[in-house]
Amino acid sequence: MRLETRFKWLPAPFLSLLLFFVWLLLNNSASAGHIVLAIVLAIGIPLVTSPFATKQPLIIKPGLAFRHLMLVLYDIITANVQVAVLILGPNKKLTPGFVKVPLDLTHSMPITILASTVSLTPGTVSAEVYPLRECIIEDNDLEQRFLLIHVLDLKDEQALINTIKQRYEAPLKEIFQC
Amino acid sequence: MLENVILIVYAMIGVSLLLNLWRLLVGPSIPDRILALDTMYINSIALIILYGMSMGTTLYFEAALLIAMLGFVSTVAVCKYLLRGDIIE
Amino acid sequence: MIELIISILLLIGGAFVLVGSIGLVKMPDFFMRLHGPTKATTLGMASLLIAAMIFFSTKQAGVSVNEILISLFLLLTAPISGYMMIKSAIHHKLDSIERTKGTENIEDDV
């Protein structure tokens, strides 16, 4: 896990990229003037705001992150069709349940991303991160963390935990190297 | 053809807004009502986008973006109020 | 041809939004109700906004891509608002239906 970038003038590369594209999308144009303005904003805003923000881990493998994003988008589409079928089917067949997934990730930022992907993908919604703490920033304490998720139709608890750990958590570990 | 499809989708969104309204009025607990309100925000964005399409203008895009942002912030604020009994501590 | 694609995307989007709201009304307890709006409605909105993007791109000169911004924003915020709502539901100790498995996994919060 790395917190500092190589260049001093670029404290958060992903935020800069996001700001660049959001500015161009908001104006709905790719003219030269707007590109220059977008570059100025994308470098200026992180420089001004980074002293206020806590340091977040950087994406170390951008290619893998892009592949993971595509996988998640594909999963969102297939999972939504499944959830639509479950919702339209009879209520009596559904067996909802709460499942505790043990986490290998330690930092709060990757845990947030994992919780969001779990909420969007299969018939699951993430509910809490245990142990309850105001902020999980320090990574030197080695307490085991759990993610509590609610499942719409729980068939096999262990298989679900394995799917989440292999399909969504392992790539995140690789991307952030932690 | 597109005009008729837009009318059908208007009807679908209208029905879902009515269902949300029913949950908002009946919903047994406060989180149920917040959930219904949040879904209503999202459905009204869909309604505005459809209206812009049938009028053939992109002017309504900014309105939809503003509703998306304010809806998210207000949902989080109300949930925070339920969790803590206070918005700003 | 393009009109056909726009129509299909619009119908898919409308159907998913409707399914989300049906789930909101039909399901027996709060935790199950949450699944409809957080997932089905978000995908329905993404599909509707892609249809709007194609529509405005063919209607005007030049492409119109700023509808992507709304779908991106909805995809980013839907899990967070869902998380806040389920957290407040757990805080208020809402009842889940009897056949829910693993309710002993919920810990009391302060």
pLDDT confidence of A56, banded at 50, 70, 90? confident
Q: pLDDT value at position B86?
A: 65
- The span from the CA of C43 to the CA of A154, in Å, is 22
Q: Distance (Å) from the C-alpha of residue B89 to the closest C-alpha of chain C?
A: 16
> Is residue B37 in a domain?
yes
Domain boundaries, chain C: 2-95
Q: In this complex, is the C-beta atom of B54 within 8 Å of any C-beta atom belonging to chain C?
A: no
Beta carbons of B48 and C52 less than 8 angstroms apart = no
> Is residue A144 in a domain?
yes
- The span from the CA of C109 to the CA of B13, in Å, is 38
- H or E stretch including C74? helix C67-91
How many CB contacts within 8 angstroms connect chain B with chain C? 143
CATH top class, domain C2-95? mainly alpha
Pick from B5, B65, B79: which is nearest to C69 by CB?
B65
Q: Distance (Å) from the C-alpha of residue A133 to the closest C-alpha of chain C?
A: 10
Beta carbons of B24 and B36 less than 8 angstroms apart = yes
Q: pLDDT value at position B21?
A: 92
Angle at C92 between CA C88 and CA C94, to 5 degrees: 105
pLDDT confidence of A57, banded at 50, 70, 90? confident
Pick from B34, B68, B79: which is nearest to C74 by CB?
B68
Range of the domain at A143: 90-176
Number of domains in chain B: 1
Pick from B52, B65, B72: which is nearest to C81 by CB?
B72
Q: pLDDT value at position A132?
A: 66
Beta carbons of A44 and A20 less than 8 angstroms apart = no
Q: Which residues of B5-43 are buried (b: 16+ CB within 10 A; e: fewer)?
A: bbeebbebbeebbebbeebbeebeebbbbbbbbbbbbbb
Residues of C within 8 A of B20 (CB-CB) are: 21, 24
Residue C27 three-state SS: coil
Verify whether the Cβ–Cβ distance C20 to B61 is below 8 Å. no
Q: Distance (Å) from the C-alpha of residue A18 to the closest C-alpha of chain C?
A: 11
Q: Distance (Å) from the C-alpha of residue C29 to the closest C-alpha of chain B?
A: 9
Verify whether the Cβ–Cβ distance C30 to B29 is below 8 Å. yes
Task: Output the domain CATH number for residue B25.
Answer: 1.10.287
> Is residue A127 in a domain?
yes
Q: pLDDT value at position B11?
A: 92
> Is residue B89 in a domain?
no
Rounded (10°) CA dihedral A139, A144, A150, A155: 130
Q: pLDDT value at position B14?
A: 92
- DSSP codes joined into one string, A12-72: -HHHHHHHHHHHHHHHT---HHHHHHHHHHHHHHHHHHTTTSPP-PPPS-HHHHHHHHHHH
Pick from A91, A97, A99: which is nearest to C27 by CB?
A91
- The span from the CA of A153 to the CA of A123, in Å, is 7
Instruction: Respond yes or no on whether the N-terminal peptide bond of residue A46 is cis (omega within 30° of 0).
Output: no
Alpha helix (H) ranges present in A59-169? 62-88, 108-120, 157-163
Comparing CA positions, the residue from B46, A22, A69 lying closest to residue C68 is A22
Q: pLDDT value at position B18?
A: 93
Number of domains in chain A: 1
Verify whether the Cβ–Cβ distance B20 to C24 is below 8 Å. yes
Q: pLDDT at residue C108 above 70?
A: no
Select the residue from A27, A78, A128 to test the C interface by mutation, using most C Cβ atoms within 10 A.
Answer: A128
Q: In this complex, is the C-beta atom of C3 within 8 Å of any C-beta atom belonging to chain B?
A: yes
Q: In this complex, is the C-beta atom of C58 within 8 Å of any C-beta atom belonging to chain B?
A: no
Mean of pLDDT over chain A: 80
- H or E stretch including C54? helix C42-59
Q: Encode pLDDT of A23-38 as tens digits.
A: 888 887 778 888 999 9
Q: Encode pLDDT of A74-111 as tens digits.
A: 888 888 888 888 888 887 778 888 888 888 877 778 88
Q: In this complex, is the C-beta atom of B21 within 8 Å of any C-beta atom belonging to chain C?
A: no
DSSP state of C103: G
> Is residue A152 in a domain?
yes
- The span from the CA of C22 to the CA of B34, in Å, is 16
> Which chains would you list as touching C if contact means 3+ CB atom pairs under 8 Å?
A, B
Q: In this complex, is the C-beta atom of A70 within 8 Å of any C-beta atom belonging to chain C?
A: no
How many CB contacts within 8 angstroms connect chain A with chain C? 117
Positions of chain B with pLDDT lower than 70, given as ranges: 86-89
